[in-house]
């Protein structure tokens, strides 16, 4: 219960102290997480800017793109490996992406950018920029610690950040309504201490909603109990797979041969008759199924809003169909956790807003510490004056 204004204790002062000390305790981690989130927001655009020739192709006049079948065959001959997946963009100015795995190679293999008109390899997804951004990603998710440990450390700091955001909004609210305009602005003509204080308060308020969305969605990657709890609220599993090769299997017959990639594309066009990007994956196991993901252009929820088909790899029969537009609303929300967290949900516009909010989030620990240091200096000077006057 709050006491009178003349009392040494008040709820507001208590919240202020918690806000201060929790911010100091988690400041370094939050600074790193926000900074890396800011850097990672435009990863794809930066990589394309650095290596434009790898991500774009020139479409010759009246030329047609080679079939996926021919690309598969030629790339396997060039690399000596086995093609396991291919991405076919709708745009005629983008390369195909083909993943090749060598015999006995662990992991997914190497993904090549391939000119669809010449079958020329333009590069791979491995590059100095991709290595840099992978380090940024590990810093953001695990601060370069062992994954199971770093995930928890970042998660705890994020929980603290949620409290800091709420407490900061309480502290931001002016005691008198007539001071609201002042709380929303930055007095640039004031001294640097006042400007720093306004930057922390005003910018923190403007970015608070997006930072809260990032924090609450980001906890899904840190704590299983949180992810399960959110799934219980939504009534569906968060990060649940949309169909699995374990649910349906291909029928193996004598002398069975996998269907061609051209047949797979034709089947996709028959079942999903609209223009869009394809991502096709072949299974590792003989009983596995071929996965077709087709993305509608300019989808508001990014890479989660795709239609899914699972095909018998020998007969080409459609064994499973999952149309995104037909999914219940709660399942759509559960699949949009990632684009909600990264800002991709509304394309470039939302990514810019997230970038700005993350940049502000990066500055908050700095401006907050400066406010704390200034208060310490002010308290110390006040104590020295009182000591001098008493003497």
Residue 47, pLDDT > 50, answer: yes
Position 349 pLDDT exceeds 70 = yes
% the chain with pLDDT above 90:
50
**Helix, strand counts (H, E) of the chain:** 14, 8
Tell me the C-alpha distance between 146 and 142, whole Å: 7
Range of lowest pLDDT (89-98, 185-194, 218-227): 185-194
- Lowest average pLDDT, out of 77-86, 103-112, 314-323, goes to 103-112
Please give the DSSP secondary-structure letter assigned to residue 96: E
C-alpha distance from residue 201 to each of 25, 32, 63, 90, 171 (Å):
19, 20, 58, 46, 9
Average the pLDDT over each of 50-54, 80-84, 126-130, 299-303 and give the range with the smallest value: 299-303
pLDDT band, very low/low/confident/very high, at 180 (cuts 50, 70, 90): confident
Q: Rounded to whole angstroms, how far apart are CA atoms 375 and 21?
A: 13
Q: Which of 4-18, 157-171, 294-308 holds the top average pLDDT?
A: 157-171
pLDDT at 241: 65
For residues 326 and 61, give the distance between their C-alpha atoms in angstroms, rounded to a whole number. 39
Which are the contacts of 124, defined by CB distance < 8 A and separation ≥ 6? 110, 111, 112, 113
The confidence band for 273, taking pLDDT boundaries of 50, 70 and 90, is very high
DSSP letter assigned to residue 66: P
Given a cut of 80, whether residue 238 has pLDDT beyond it is: yes
Cα–Cα distance, 224 to 229 (Å, whole number): 8
Report which secondary-structure segment, H or E, holds 122. Answer: strand 121-124
Where does the pLDDT of residue 97 fall: very low under 50, low under 70, confident under 90, or very high at 90 and above? very high
More confident residue, 242 or 344: 344
Judged against a pLDDT cut of 80, whether residue 13 lies above it is answered with yes
With a cut of 50, say whether residue 144 has pLDDT above it: yes
For the chain, what's the residue count?
391
Mean pLDDT, the chain, rounded, equals 87
Q: How far apart are CA 63 and CA 93, in angstroms?
A: 12
Please indicate whether residue 374 or residue 209 has the higher confidence score (pLDDT). 209
pLDDT given at position 2: 39
CA 335, CA 321: separation in Å to the nearest integer?
A: 17
At residue 8, the pLDDT reads 58
More confident site: 145 or 7: 145
Q: Has residue 5 got a pLDDT over 50? A: no
Quick one: average pLDDT of 291-320?
82
- The closest alpha carbon to 111, from 189, 47, 36, belongs to 47
Q: What is the pLDDT of residue 222?
A: 95
Percent of the chain, pLDDT > 70? Answer: 92
Q: What are the domain boundaries of the chain? A: 11-42+146-234+347-376, 52-126, 261-327
pLDDT for residue 6: 44
pTM for this structure?
A: 0.85
Place 359 in a pLDDT band, splitting at 50, 70 and 90.
very high
């Amino acid at each position: 219960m709050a006491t009178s204004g003349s009392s040494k204790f008040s709820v507001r002062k208590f919240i202020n102290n918690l806000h201060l000390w929790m911010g100091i305790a988690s400041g370094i981690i939050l600074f790193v997480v926000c900074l890396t989130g800011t850097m990672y927001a435009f990863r794809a655009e930066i990589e394309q800017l650095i290596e434009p020739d790898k991500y774009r192709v020139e479409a010759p006049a009246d030329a047609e793109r080679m079939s996926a079948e021919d690309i598969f065959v030629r790339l396997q001959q060039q690399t000596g490996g086995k093609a396991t997946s291919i991405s076919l963009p709708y745009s005629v100015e983008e390369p195909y992406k083909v993943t090749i795995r060598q015999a006995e190679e662990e992991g997914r293999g190497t993904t090549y950018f391939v000119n669809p008109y010449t079958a020329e390899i333009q590069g791979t997804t491995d590059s100095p920029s991709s290595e840099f951004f992978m380090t940024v990603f590990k810093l953001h998710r695990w601060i370069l610690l062992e994954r199971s440990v770093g995930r928890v450390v970042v998660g705890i700091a994020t929980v603290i950040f949620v409290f800091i955001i709420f407490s900061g909004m309480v502290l931001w609210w002016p005691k008198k309504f007539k001071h609201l305009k002042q709380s929303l602005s930055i007095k640039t003509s004031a001294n640097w201490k006042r400007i720093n204080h306004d930057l922390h308060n005003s910018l923190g308020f403007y970015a608070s909603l997006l930072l809260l969305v990032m924090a609450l969605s980001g906890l899904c990657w840190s704590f299983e109990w949180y992810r399960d709890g959110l799934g219980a609220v939504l009534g569906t599993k968060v990060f649940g797979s949309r169909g699995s090769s374990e649910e349906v299997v291909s029928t193996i017959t004598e002398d069975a041969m996998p269907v061609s990639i051209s047949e797979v594309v034709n089947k996709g066009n028959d079942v999903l008759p609209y223009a869009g990007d394809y991502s096709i994956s072949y299974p590792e196991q003989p009983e596995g199924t071929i996965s077709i993901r087709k993305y509608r252009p300019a989808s508001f929820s990014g890479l989660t809003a795709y239609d899914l088909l699972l095909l018998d790899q020998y007969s080409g029969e459609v064994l499973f169909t999952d149309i995104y537009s037909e999914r219940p609303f709660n399942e759509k929300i559960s699949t949009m956790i990632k684009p909600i967290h990264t800002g991709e949900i509304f394309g470039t516009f939302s990514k810019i807003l997230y970038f700005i909010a993350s940049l502000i989030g990066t500055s908050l620990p700095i401006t907050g510490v400066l406010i704390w240091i200034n208060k310490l200096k002010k308290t110390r000077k006040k104590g020295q004056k009182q000591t001098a006057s008493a003497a």
